[in-house]
Structure 1
Amino acid sequence: MTSSVTTPILLIDDPAPMVRRLTLNRPDKRNALSNELRGQVFQALEAADADPEVRVIIIRGAGTCFSAGYDLSGEARHQPLPFATAGGPGQWARHVVEGAFRIWDLAKPVIAQVHGWCLAGGSELATACDLVYVAEDARIGYPPVRSMSPPDNQFHPWLCGLRPAMEMMLTGDAMDGLEAVRVGFANRAFPAEQLDAEVLAIAERVAKTPTDVQQMNKRSVHRAMEVMGLRAAIRAGTDIQALALTTASSRATFAQFRESVTQALDARDGGFGDYRTEGEG
């Protein structure tokens, strides 16, 4: 009898003292964020936050990229949400934002280590983290604005400012790691082959400060952003996202996704000649 071994979709290790590292491990799916994977990420983050031997957490992706976004397959859509969110119109966007603020409200700093594609829900996961370090050749974007809606978690104007945010919203184009640093999405960019070592070195520096002090340092920055309206604005954005899903174009796009995710993505990006269809436009 042959025994089957299930490959874990989230890898957890401690690569240095006081450093916990989570690796999204669905490389064959470009680390698409299924509800199952998202649930494991939240559980691991909360466990690390409660662990006195951990002071900082890194999230990265296995294989060729950080994450290409939420898992749009039929099987993934039927997985239960990892935590309860009030139902009704806009439930998904509210759920995403509540997840982002779960990370935001952790006591310990969370670092996103981004390489390759970081799209849609993948970019929302990265922006929920406290620090973001990227490979110079990473590709970061939110292509669903082309045919569906604005993001569930509308971080763009807060991180990147009015003009860069507006360009992202009106084109859906991806930016590389250097541009991500220039507009404020990321802290620093490194050559891809150096990213692991550089992020670990930064994490070790962050871990030198005890958690009881570090959580106050983290909250001081967050409270300033919240006083300026970040939390209210991002939560209000979920209502706009829900309204956008009622448009004829958005409904037509979802109908295409039910037929074929691949064909729907090709239809969305073919005229732009990027993402899956690069070189065709």
Structure 2
Amino acid sequence: MTDILLLDDPLPGVRRLTLNRPEKRNALNNALRGAIFPALTEADRDGSVRVTIIRGAGPAFCAGYDLAANNAEGQPYHTAQGIWPWSRQVVEGWFRMWDLAKPVIAQVHGYCLAGGSELATACDLVYVAEDAKIGYPPTRLMSPPDMQFHPWLLGMRRAMEMYLTGDAISGVEAAQDGFANRAFPADKLDEEVLKVADRVSKVPPDLQQINKRSVHRAMEIMGMRDGLRAGTEMQALAFCTESSQAYRRQFKRDGGSVRDLLSQRDAPFKDYRETKTGD
């Protein structure tokens, strides 16, 4: 496995993937995305694996897509082209995870923002640190989410508040509102997630895949899959607005430009990069 994605088996039947770009808060570039999907496929095919955990190294689970990278190049799989195909590209990837036979668990700490929240959502179970921060700040100056899961998991009012403000919710709130299964103290998160994974691994995989798909089929009958796909068109439309285009024209392929533009976005709200701690 590449050095941007670490792999270990902490318990019998449990595969663990660790996003390993801590200096970038595990931001998702195509190299990292291109490592995640084969690793998940390998685990799904491996008879010794019954459940997979995804977590992040360093201070955050995942701060979102890597805006300093050229994400149009080196995409890990083909997506039909057209007007702004990026949102379709990433949502297709999340559905690849959704359609795996074996369960996948997200272990979330620190920031879980934008594309990072989509990665967590694509997992079957989500466990978070109580002080985690989950949000989609690009709604402030860029677009709504690529994968618009919020109304499905959080309900209309909470989803509307998060879209209209770009504010984050805490891990405790995420568990209360339906994004996560449970929240734990940060120093207990590893231990508690392994406990859950161990219990999940005790169910035979041939039955477990039916258990998993039963829940998914119920959501799909209610229209979740079609709704998420339709959301990619709304995201593409937002990128055609004057405000989004003016903001994105300022981006350059260097970290300094991205940091400045994130500060420009968040300074009026005094959060994310613009908190007093400067995190």
The alignment's TM-score, normalised by the length of structure 1, stands at 0.95
User: Take 2:251 and 2:180, find their aligned partners in 1: how far apart are those partners?
Assistant: 31
1:270 aligned counterpart, secondary structure = helix
Deviation of residue 78 (structure 1)?
5.5
Q: Does 1:14 align with 2:9?
A: yes
Deviation of residue 253 (structure 1)?
1.2
Match of 1:268 in 2: 265
Contact 1:152–1:237 (CA<8 Å) still a contact in 2? yes
Q: Return 5+ residue gaps in structure 1 as ranges.
A: 1-5
Match of 2:164 in 1: 170
Q: Does 1:49 align with 2:44?
A: yes
1:58 aligned counterpart, secondary structure = strand
**CA shift digits 1:235-264 (9 cap, x unpaired):** 000011000000011001111223811111
**CA shift digits 1:181-232 (9 cap, x unpaired):** 1110000000000000000010000000010000000000000000000000
Contact 1:36–1:79 (CA<8 Å) still a contact in 2? no
Match of 2:241 in 1: 247
Residue correspondences, number? 274
Deviation of residue 79 (structure 1)?
3.7
The one-letter amino acid of 2:177's match is V
Between stretches 258-267 and 118-127, larger displacement belongs to: 258-267
Contact 1:90–1:238 (CA<8 Å) still a contact in 2? no
User: Take 1:181 and 1:164, find their aligned partners in 2: how far apart are those partners?
Assistant: 13
Q: CA RMSD of the aligned region, Å?
A: 1.4
Question: Percentage identity across aligned positions?
Answer: 66
1:77 aligned counterpart, secondary structure = coil
User: Take 1:257 and 1:138, find their aligned partners in 2: how far apart are those partners?
Assistant: 28
The one-letter amino acid of 2:46's match is D
User: Take 2:266 and 2:186, find their aligned partners in 1: how far apart are those partners?
Assistant: 26
The one-letter amino acid of 2:211's match is N
**CA shift digits 1:44-77 (9 cap, x unpaired):** 0000000000000000000111000111114x43
Change (3 A) 1:128 1:7: closer
User: Take 1:149 and 1:28, find their aligned partners in 2: how far apart are those partners?
Assistant: 26
The one-letter amino acid of 1:173's match is D
Match of 1:89 in 2: 83
Q: Return 5+ residue gaps in structure 2 as ranges.
A: none
Which residue of 172, 178, 182 corresponds with 1:184? 178
User: Take 1:204 and 1:136, find their aligned partners in 2: how far apart are those partners?
Assistant: 22
**CA shift digits 1:67-94 (9 cap, x unpaired):** 00111114x4364100000111131000
Which residue of 64, 67, 73 corresponds with 1:69? 64
User: Take 1:253 and 1:108, find their aligned partners in 2: how far apart are those partners?
Assistant: 40
**Which residues in structure 2 correspond to 1:180-219 (within 5 Å)?**
180-219=174-213
Contact 1:256–1:263 (CA<8 Å) still a contact in 2? no
1:256 aligned counterpart, secondary structure = coil
Match of 2:231 in 1: 237
Match of 1:113 in 2: 107
The alignment's TM-score, normalised by the length of structure 2, stands at 0.96
Match of 1:3 in 2: none
The one-letter amino acid of 1:38's match is R
The one-letter amino acid of 1:267's match is Q
Q: Which runs of 4+ in 1 moved over 6 A?
A: none
